[in-house]
Amino acid sequence: MSSNLFPGPADRLRLDGFLTRELAAAGERVATGPVTPRLDTAAFRAALAGFDFATPVEAEALLSWTIAQLENGLVHITHPRYFGLFNPGPAAPAQWADRIAATFNPQLATWTTSPAAVEIESHVIRAVARRAGLPAEAAGHFTTGGAEANCTALVCALTRAEPGFAAEGVRAFAGPPVLYASKDCHLAWIKIAHQTGIGRSAVRLVDTDGTGRMDAAALSAAIASDLRAGCKPVMVVATAGTTNAGMIDPLGACARLACDAGAWFHVDAAWGGGLIASERLSGSLAGIERADSITIDAHKWFATTMGCGMFLTPHRAALSAAFEVSTGYMPSATRDLDPYVTTMQWSRRFLGLRLFLSLAAAGWDGYAAHVEHAINLAALLGRALRERGWTVVNRSPLAVLCLEPPPGCTGVRAIVGRVLESGRAWVSVATFEGRDVVRACVTHGETTAEDVDILVAALAAASDSLS
Ligand SMILES: Cc1ncc(COP(=O)(O)O)c(C=O)c1O
């Protein structure tokens, strides 16, 4: 037995303590250092090549080396001036949950083997589903992220649309199955269409209305045209918080059109779902309660560690219809209890503990304050930049701004490039209604007004130098 793999209790305590201290020190350096990587790639690759896995490396040296590489070799989403795509600075209870899960390492495929863990996850899923307005009997599960949750939705939709789908796949449909999402949706839908066998061309990317939201009239026209052509509309996806611009599609109109077409109505609220925490702001999601299924990523606005998504549905039976399987070697196969017969995964990590501990520690009010803080900072950023001649081109209820620099200043990409080079903040380039924009999103729960000031100064310096 290798003591490097399984150190004795005293060594284990010493090494765990060492790791905790090293990580805390690294966290402090990261928060005050550059947001962007400072990796010497050639030196890093050479050092990496030195690991030939022939000679065991001493644990402290290995841990220190790894932390140093990550400190220099990542865009730091744990930095309060990471204003990027929605990857959060993780909440402490979510990090503790990872540690607990790694220690007990429960297998969540079945209730029989991990009853406490499976019940904790179900409890959180029910609470989130109720908070989103779904009925008391709603079900669901944790996923690796939004893409898996969205894929789950399509498998459920296809299974409901055509009883022969389970056995025959898409061959069972009389006409080609198609799904609708706005052209600003998250393009994992393209991969999902590929994986499920309906094919990439089955995704109808519906026009937006000039404000980044799905155009309901265009959706209606697309469905009518497909029906005339003999296609089978299986699902309408409304995005609640587009990745680029945080726009929320017209949920009520999408629900109605899906219902009229006999299609599954899915709300991809991977990011915007965080609004359910705030009673003041959740009205922006009106219509979500009509969904056949909802995606919410806990690893976005709920600030858990990556990857942690959720799939929620009022149709409990749809999950077993889509994922049922029977084997002799599993200890049980109970539809309402065993995750491996109601989800895509088989072996399953205890992901839901992250949200359980975070919600239990902060309460919905704590999360409401977290979400509202981000929105207030985004408003502050918008005001400061407008005063400097910038234009905010989106009107999102989330904490994201799509920005055009002052007239006369060209090159959004160059501006973003200069901000990243400075290391003072991280923003990205996005396209909003055909225009290149600087995208700045408040993602970190510890971002402050001073951080916003520093971002404003970095953007202003970059745009001035390019005018
Ligand atoms: C609206 C939306 N849906 C789905 C996804 C995919 O989620 P994940 O990356 O968690 O798989 C994202 C990711 O950014 C997203 O913004």
User: Distance, CA 33 to ligand 1 centroid (Å)?
Assistant: 28
Q: Is 302 helix (H, G, I), strand (E, B) or coil?
A: coil
Q: Closest ligand 1 atom to the C-alpha of 306?
A: 10
Instruction: Quote the distance between the C-alpha of residue 175 and its chain's center.
Output: 33
**Which one is predicted more confidently, 329 or 246?**
246
Nearest CA to 186 out of 226, 156, 217, 214 is that of: 214
User: Distance, CA 269 to ligand 1 centroid (Å)?
Assistant: 9
Question: Any idea what the Cα angle at residue 99 is, between residues 97 and 101, rounded to 5°?
Answer: 65
Q: Closest ligand 1 atom to the C-alpha of 243?
A: 16
In this prediction, residue 1 has a pLDDT band, given cuts at 50, 70 and 90, of: low
User: Distance, CA 142 to ligand 1 centroid (Å)?
Assistant: 14
- Mean pLDDT over all residues of the chain? 96
Of 294, 297, 299, 345, best ligand 1 pocket probe by most atoms within 8 Å of the beta carbon: 297
The DSSP-derived string for 272-299 is: GGGGGG-TTTGGGGTTGGG-SEEEEETT
User: Distance, CA 267 to ligand 1 centroid (Å)?
Assistant: 12
Pocket residues: Cβ below 6 A from ligand 1: 86, 145-147, 150, 186, 188, 239, 241, 243, 268, 270-271, 297, 307, 309
User: Distance, CA 270 to ligand 1 centroid (Å)?
Assistant: 6
In this prediction, residue 195 has a pLDDT band, given cuts at 50, 70 and 90, of: very high
Check whether 266 has a pLDDT greater than 70.
Answer: yes
Q: Which residue's CA lies nearest to atom 4 of ligand 1?
A: 146
Check whether 2 has a pLDDT greater than 80.
Answer: no
Spatial separation of the C-alpha atoms in residues 328 and 342, rounded to whole Å: 17
Instruction: State pLDDT tens for residues 130-158.
Output: 999 999 999 999 999 999 999 999 999 99
User: Distance, CA 192 to ligand 1 centroid (Å)?
Assistant: 12
Q: Closest ligand 1 atom to the C-alpha of 300?
A: 10
Instruction: State pLDDT tens for residues 17-68.
Output: 999 999 999 999 999 999 999 999 999 999 999 999 999 999 999 999 999 9
- The mean pLDDT of 94-112, rounded to a whole number, is 97
What pLDDT shows up at residue 336?
A: 76
Q: Which residue's CA lies nearest to atom 7 of ligand 1?
A: 146
H or E stretch at 55:
none
User: Distance, CA 49 to ligand 1 centroid (Å)?
Assistant: 34
Q: Which residue's CA lies nearest to atom 8 of ligand 1?
A: 146
Instruction: State pLDDT tens for residues 397-447.
Output: 999 999 999 998 879 999 999 999 999 999 999 999 999 999 999 999 999
Is 438:445 a contact under the CB 8 Å cutoff?
Answer: no
What pLDDT shows up at residue 332?
A: 75
Is 246:375 a contact under the CB 8 Å cutoff?
Answer: no
User: Distance, CA 297 to ligand 1 centroid (Å)?
Assistant: 7
H or E stretch at 86:
none
Q: Closest ligand 1 atom to the C-alpha of 145?
A: 10
**Which one is predicted more confidently, 328 or 350?**
350
User: Distance, CA 87 to ligand 1 centroid (Å)?
Assistant: 10
